[in-house]
Structure 1
Amino acid sequence: MHKTNLAYILLLLFSIQVLAQESLYTSLTIPSKLRGNANAVVRYNHVQIALNSSYEMSVLQKRVVTILNKEGDDAINAVVHYDNNVKIKNLEVKVYNNFGTQINKFKKNDFKDVSAVDGGTLYSDSRVKYLEYTAVDYPYSVEFISETVSNNTAFIQPFMPIDDYFLSIERSTYQINYPTEITLRTLERNFDNYELIKEEASGVLKYKVKNINAFKPEKYAPAFFDLAPKVLLASNQFTLEGVQAKVENWNDFGKWMYHDLIKDTHDLPESTIAMIQELVKDETNDIEKAKKIYKYVQDKTRYISVQVGIGGWKPFNASDVDKLGYGDCKGLTNYTMALLNAVGVKSNYCVVWRYTQGRSIEKDFTSMQGNHVFLNIPTENNEDIWLECTSQKLPFGFIANSTDDRDVLVITTDGGEIKHTKKYNPEESIQTINGKYSISNDGNLQAQVIVGSKGIQYDDKYWLETETERDLDKHYKKRWRYVNSMSIESMDIQNDKQDIQFIEQVSFNATNYSKVIGDRMLLTVNALNRSTHVPDRYRNRNYPLKVSRGFVDIDEVEIELPSDYKVESMPKNIAIENKFGHYKTEIEKIDENKLLYKREFKVNDGEFPKEDYEKFRSFYKTVSRQDNAKIALIKK
């Protein structure tokens, strides 16, 4: 009797488990709240890592995802990266229809195998296998299983349950097993709104989370990485392509990088050292020496990605870059550093997250981070100088929009430290417009304008220097797209790299700019810098308001009115000031037929509560409306 009951219970439990597993392969069992904003739902994702030692690690992943519509196809994410140090042991995919019936199966050889880098890379051993699957019907589910083994343990896969917008998570689990002699560190972020279950035992760490609703992107919001829940993991003892390390803090990490990856690469030929010393012999100031060397590197070298060596982290020798005339970010930065060292100018190799919406190195979590390197020149009394060594166009010390205003790892001969790069304040990111335009009795416009741009606004325009005349014509017509029937008469641009200012002089005309109605003419006063942008509206804002970079626009425009008309009415002067910035306009009457239009528009950078978003939107909406204000003219 007891045996019969036990067998029945075991059979029942097995049946329940089978049914639970089968329910993952049909969309019919997805909880309704997980469907909101979702193009796909991860039904189950399990990552199991065996950190067998500081030089061996295996990763097993099983993932079941239900694709709800065509926009969710990318969520299949059946992708595995590998190289000479990462081997794929298992790779398979099963596809199920909406009722949970298997309709397809793919093995390792069915996956496409391509280089993991773009055509701008000279050489890399990084490759990727991925499944290219074309769905016949929706919804459908995909089970993806992969297993890899690596002798690189510097990068431990984080627990990041949700990795994209429009993707819900039903259940996600993570387990890492590690030897007790290894110290494992973790950093948990953004789990305040979720129930994170954590289990710890000797040599074992587990995480589990359920029911994460899809994130929907919003404009003027923090980056996805800063919003999504995640656990970062790192070991104090690790190996990177045979090079072992033991680090507990950023100082240790910097020492390891300098002594094991960088120090032995500064092998400039004696002839190059003599040449570079001759180049700067008349300069007594270190900064002026650095400027000449930076210009030399820009003229001599070009950027090309070379992702070999210590996991793409060890730079090529300076002698190789000197001989070949090209290198990746590591090689060019290291080469510039070696040249500076040859003339006694101290500089430091730096690791940074480039672009990535201002992402900083996690200063409280020592680990392999970053996707780019550049150079730091410390100064005693002034702000440090930062050099982007991969660009042949950027001015000395200019880093706006790619590595500005974020924490980076600076590697010195004594170790590593976290520093914050230059922040371009709104007052530094200024655009000035000095112009004049005239309106004919037929309402036609003739305009001349000089535009000067600095800071972030310089970064928006400096690339125009190398554009063709045809492309410039298209660019200016797009910039002043609210002026119909525009014809460009002349264009002259000047890139002042010394003062880091971009200057544009443009003349153009347009027919029927002003609207003539009987004896009256309506003239939109702001012809040269009209703000048409109004941020998107959100009925229920979810994320904080973030303005990554501020700016200031200052305009002064002389307006010559048509000779047969006089002013009937003018817009009132405006002055608006709030936490988001300010907006001021003023129209001054010079004489019967001349006006002077002054405008100042400032936007402050910063992060604000989500409740402020509608006020921010209203500010932009008011600016757009006022920039469209009109002067009423009447025939004399």
Structure 2
Amino acid sequence: MKNWISALMLACVASVGAWAGGGPEYSALTIKSALSKGADAVIRQEEVQFTVLSAKSATEKVRQVVTVLNADGKEHATLVVHYDKLNKVDYIRGTVYDMTGKKVRSIKNSDIRDYSANGDGTLYGDNRVKVVEPTHSTYPYTIEYEYQTTSSNLLFYTTWAPISGKKVSLEKASFTVQMPAGIDLRYHEQQLPEKASISEVNSKKTYSWQLKNVVPIETEQYGPPFYELIPMVRTAPTTFEVEGFAGSMESWKALGEWQNKLNAGRSQLPDATKQQVLTLTQGLATPEEKIKAVYQFMQNRTRYVSIQLGIGGWQPFEASMVDSKGYGDCKALSNYTKALLEVAGIQSHYAIIYGGDDNRPVIKDFPSSQFNHVVLCVPTPKDTIWLECTNQMADAGYTGSFTGDRYSLLVTPEGGKLVSTPKFTAQDNTQKRLVKVKLNSQGGGVGEAVTVFTGRQHEDRTEVLNRLKPDEQLKWLYKATDIPSFEIKKFTLEKVKGVPQVNENLQLELPRVASVSGRRMFITPNLMNRRQSVPLTTETRKHDVVLTYPYYDVDSVEFEIPAGFKPESVPQPVKISSVFGEYEAKVNMKDGKLVYQRQLTMHKGRFAPDRYAELVEFLKKVSRADQQQVVLAADSI
């Protein structure tokens, strides 16, 4: 609790009968020890009231009181309120209180900073944010905020998640949604001890949730992500309207129908561009060839920019505009590519998806706007090809860690439907490496490492090739290469065109690849791919075991041993199998060389908490096998 207990004890001698402003409820003295233990901040009170006025208007009123216990918790005293053309901030008020609950000062208008919230590459955007960062250096202290927003974008209702981060506890919180007559609320509850309380007066329904005494939520190694563990209520409309475009979320089909309204009439292309596409695809024998040719045509003549302006956050710019300007956002570029493919006689579908490495799963039985990105889905007689239209270097059909293995809302002429993007097995994400090392009698040597990375394992290096200069690439390789002591004398990185693959070649100086003692030389033959760490064993596992990233590694290391040395001790072959993966390693002599071979397969899966000990044991065995040594002995003199 970062040395504030003594300060609290001193404060206890002061009267707690009356505070100027605030009151006992704002005092850090009243926080229960169960809530302060392990916490950086405590949410004392949170009251959120979301009032839907009609299908196209709503207000949200928030009151929050947070006690910051130490410097690590000060981020939870910061208020961030987003707004744009469709969402207005009506007011923000705030007050700072000291440890005993005495008012220190009120937040002034000059304390409220206003910034653009448009990211890099945004050409058009009206996203802004109001931020309050109170300056108070004595801990603990308490901050109270009240603010209200008004929205004319009812595509999104409020999501209530009162736990703002790790090492945060909560005393009490409430969430209330008031609905007008004739409009029902749809909601999805997560990790709540009690279900919603529903009341009705004059055909207007009120939905209420309460939460009390929540201790800090702990994540665990190989456990579910934090957002899955916190109490949460997601809400969504049945009917809504955004800038004159009315729609329904009663089904995924209905949500797709609304998107069709936004996309209607935006696929027209100039005749000259149409002729270019026809010439480009003339003579190509298969749909797959035509798709790749059109995709490359689009990549070569466009670049990505973000456009977030009113309904433009969901409606694509016209294909003709993208064609003339040469840029667009994910919506516009996907729509443009769709129009180009139509000219070539290829049908495709606009597909709304959640893009991100965290891969938040879609709640399939809760139709709502759970997405942040758009791609293109192209069905063919052989397969379905997914196109990422914002990346000029992407390979046709490769979804990867950004959009792979998740549900997308396919927007068809008949409306929307959920479909899954390609799933990845370990064999799709490979690292295959061959290392040749020439040892000298002092334990040093030189080597060459040739590695082929595919699937998700190629993504980091593709990013390096696309964004970094050669000298920066070298620095990155030093950090990414796991050898006890080495120098990179020369390197090449090559992206293989058209497929998700990068080839890497490293010419290495290895001054201490082996240790020498007397006439013996000790070598750890797994030169570049050792598992160094193992997760901690716990007596009480709370959460499921989650493995999200399947992969397959193959390592072959050939050692040309110096004259006069022979193997004295060689590890026995190791073979380990479990539900989590498989491991195999062996060492032998071949054509006068010491040859090490290793294979590791890790599977994706979700397992019960009581399987965690099995995972730890499997990884321990892998780690031990990776550290095994070969002993070479020189001939007797």
Q: Which runs of 5+ in 2 are unaligned?
A: 1-15
1:211 to 213, 232, 236: 213
What's the counterpart of residue 229 of structure 2? 227
CA drift at 1:392: 1.4
Task: Tell me if the contact between 2:99 and 2:142 (Cα under 8 Å) persists in the aligned partners.
Answer: yes
Q: Distance in 1 between matches of 2:528 and 2:208?
A: 60
Q: Distance in 2 between matches of 1:333 and 1:128?
A: 28
CA drift at 1:196: 4.5
What's the counterpart of residue 181 of structure 1? 182
What's the counterpart of residue 549 of structure 2? 549
CA drift at 1:65: 0.8
1:104 aligns with 2:105: yes
Q: Distance in 1 between matches of 2:82 and 2:586?
A: 59
1:348 aligns with 2:353: no
Farther-moved stretch of structure 1 (173-182 vs 308-317): 308-317
Q: Distance in 2 between matches of 1:257 and 1:552?
A: 40
CA drift at 1:546: 1.0
After the TM superposition, which residues 277-316 of structure 1 pair with which residues of structure 2 at under 5 Å, given as runs?
277-310=278-311, 312-316=313-317
Task: Tell me if the contact between 1:197 and 1:209 (Cα under 8 Å) persists in the aligned partners.
Answer: no
CA drift at 1:536: 4.9
Q: Which runs of 5+ in 1 are unaligned?
A: 1-14
Q: Distance in 1 between matches of 2:20 and 2:175?
A: 23
Task: Tell me if the contact between 1:309 and 1:315 (Cα under 8 Å) persists in the aligned partners.
Answer: no
Q: Per the alignment, do residues 17 and 414 of structure 1 end up closer, same or farther by CA in structure 2, a change over 3 Å counting?
A: farther
Q: Secondary structure at the match of 1:553?
A: strand
Letter in 1 for 2:353: V
Q: Deviations over 1:515-554 (max 9, x none)?
A: 1111111111111332324335556443222111110111
After the TM superposition, which residues 191-210 of structure 1 pair with which residues of structure 2 at under 5 Å, given as runs?
191=192, 194-196=193-195, 198-201=197-200, 202-210=204-212
Letter in 2 for 1:322: D
Farther-moved stretch of structure 1 (237-246 vs 329-338): 237-246
After the TM superposition, which residues 115-130 of structure 1 pair with which residues of structure 2 at under 5 Å, given as runs?
115-130=116-131
What's the counterpart of residue 601 of structure 1? 600
Q: Per the alignment, do residues 536 and 111 of structure 1 end up closer, same or farther by CA in structure 2, a change over 3 Å counting?
A: farther
Q: Distance in 1 between matches of 2:574 and 2:54?
A: 68
Q: Deviations over 1:453-494 (max 9, x none)?
A: 11111223222434433233323332334331x222332232
CA drift at 1:505: 1.9
CA drift at 1:497: 2.9
Q: Deviations over 1:537-574 (max 9, x none)?
A: 55644322211111011122222111121111111110
1:248 aligns with 2:247: no
Q: Distance in 1 between matches of 2:489 and 2:520?
A: 29
CA drift at 1:402: 0.7
Q: Distance in 1 between matches of 2:266 and 2:343?
A: 13
Q: Secondary structure at the match of 2:617?
A: helix
After the TM superposition, which residues 13-24 of structure 1 pair with which residues of structure 2 at under 5 Å, given as runs?
22-24=23-25
What's the counterpart of residue 477 of structure 1? 478
What's the counterpart of residue 391 of structure 2? 391
Q: Distance in 2 between matches of 1:35 and 1:311?
A: 45
1:613 aligns with 2:608: no
1:324 aligns with 2:320: no
CA drift at 1:334: 1.3
Q: Deviations over 1:84-115 (max 9, x none)?
A: 22222221110100100110111445300011
Q: Per the alignment, do residues 540 and 135 of structure 1 end up closer, same or farther by CA in structure 2, a change over 3 Å counting?
A: farther
Q: Per the alignment, do residues 167 and 364 of structure 1 end up closer, same or farther by CA in structure 2, a change over 3 Å counting?
A: same
Q: Distance in 1 between matches of 2:359 and 2:114?
A: 33
Q: Per the alignment, do residues 499 and 270 of structure 1 end up closer, same or farther by CA in structure 2, a change over 3 Å counting?
A: same
CA drift at 1:348: 1.0
Q: Deviations over 1:217-239 (max 9, x none)?
A: 33322222222221211111111
Task: Tell me if the contact between 1:199 and 1:207 (Cα under 8 Å) persists in the aligned partners.
Answer: no
After the TM superposition, which residues 153-192 of structure 1 pair with which residues of structure 2 at under 5 Å, given as runs?
153-191=154-192
Q: Per the alignment, do residues 241 and 36 of structure 1 end up closer, same or farther by CA in structure 2, a change over 3 Å counting?
A: farther
Q: Per the alignment, do residues 16 and 483 of structure 1 end up closer, same or farther by CA in structure 2, a change over 3 Å counting?
A: closer
Q: Distance in 1 between matches of 2:354 and 2:441?
A: 56
Task: Tell me if the contact between 1:255 and 1:414 (Cα under 8 Å) persists in the aligned partners.
Answer: yes
Letter in 2 for 1:433: R
Q: Distance in 2 between matches of 1:498 and 1:158?
A: 41
Letter in 2 for 1:142: I
What's the counterpart of residue 373 of structure 1? 374
What's the counterpart of residue 452 of structure 1? 452
CA drift at 1:143: 0.7
Q: Deviations over 1:332-391 (max 9, x none)?
A: 111111111221211111111111521122221111221111111123443x22111111
Q: Per the alignment, do residues 603 and 204 of structure 1 end up closer, same or farther by CA in structure 2, a change over 3 Å counting?
A: same
Task: Tell me if the contact between 2:438 and 2:561 (Cα under 8 Å) persists in the aligned partners.
Answer: yes
What's the counterpart of residue 267 of structure 2? 266
Q: Secondary structure at the match of 1:254?
A: helix
Task: Tell me if the contact between 2:194 and 2:209 (Cα under 8 Å) persists in the aligned partners.
Answer: no
Q: Per the alignment, do residues 216 and 247 of structure 1 end up closer, same or farther by CA in structure 2, a change over 3 Å counting?
A: closer
Q: Per the alignment, do residues 148 and 472 of structure 1 end up closer, same or farther by CA in structure 2, a change over 3 Å counting?
A: closer
What's the counterpart of residue 443 of structure 1? 443
Q: Secondary structure at the match of 1:98?
A: coil
CA drift at 1:625: 2.4
Q: Secondary structure at the match of 2:403?
A: coil
2:241 to 239, 242, 245: 239
Letter in 1 for 2:626: D
Task: Tell me if the contact between 1:352 and 1:361 (Cα under 8 Å) persists in the aligned partners.
Answer: no
What's the counterpart of residue 584 of structure 1? 584
Q: Distance in 1 between matches of 2:219 and 2:549?
A: 19
Q: Distance in 2 between matches of 1:460 and 1:123?
A: 30
Q: Distance in 2 between matches of 1:49 and 1:16?
A: 35
Farther-moved stretch of structure 1 (95-104 vs 528-537): 528-537
Task: Tell me if the contact between 2:118 and 2:126 (Cα under 8 Å) persists in the aligned partners.
Answer: no
Q: Distance in 2 between matches of 1:79 and 1:614?
A: 41
What's the counterpart of residue 340 of structure 2? 339
CA drift at 1:54: 0.8
Q: Distance in 1 between matches of 2:614 and 2:71?
A: 36
Percent of aligned positions that are identical? 33
Letter in 1 for 2:572: K
Letter in 2 for 1:597: Y
Q: Secondary structure at the match of 2:332?
A: helix
Letter in 2 for 1:439: L
Q: Distance in 2 between matches of 1:199 and 1:209?
A: 16
How many residues align structurally?
Answer: 616
Letter in 2 for 1:225: Y
What's the counterpart of residue 115 of structure 2? 114
Q: Deviations over 1:58-106 (max 9, x none)?
A: 1111111111111111212412111222222221110100100110111
Q: Per the alignment, do residues 583 and 34 of structure 1 end up closer, same or farther by CA in structure 2, a change over 3 Å counting?
A: same
Farther-moved stretch of structure 1 (580-589 vs 554-563): 554-563
Q: Secondary structure at the match of 2:311?
A: coil
Q: Distance in 1 between matches of 2:141 and 2:449?
A: 58
What's the counterpart of residue 523 of structure 2? 523
CA drift at 1:307: 0.7
Letter in 2 for 1:210: K
Task: Tell me if the contact between 2:19 and 2:102 (Cα under 8 Å) persists in the aligned partners.
Answer: no
Q: Distance in 1 between matches of 2:63 and 2:53?
A: 20
What's the counterpart of residue 567 of structure 1? 567
* TM-score when normalising by structure 2: 0.92
Task: Tell me if the contact between 1:347 and 1:377 (Cα under 8 Å) persists in the aligned partners.
Answer: yes
Q: Distance in 2 between matches of 1:448 and 1:207?
A: 62
Q: Secondary structure at the match of 1:532?
A: coil
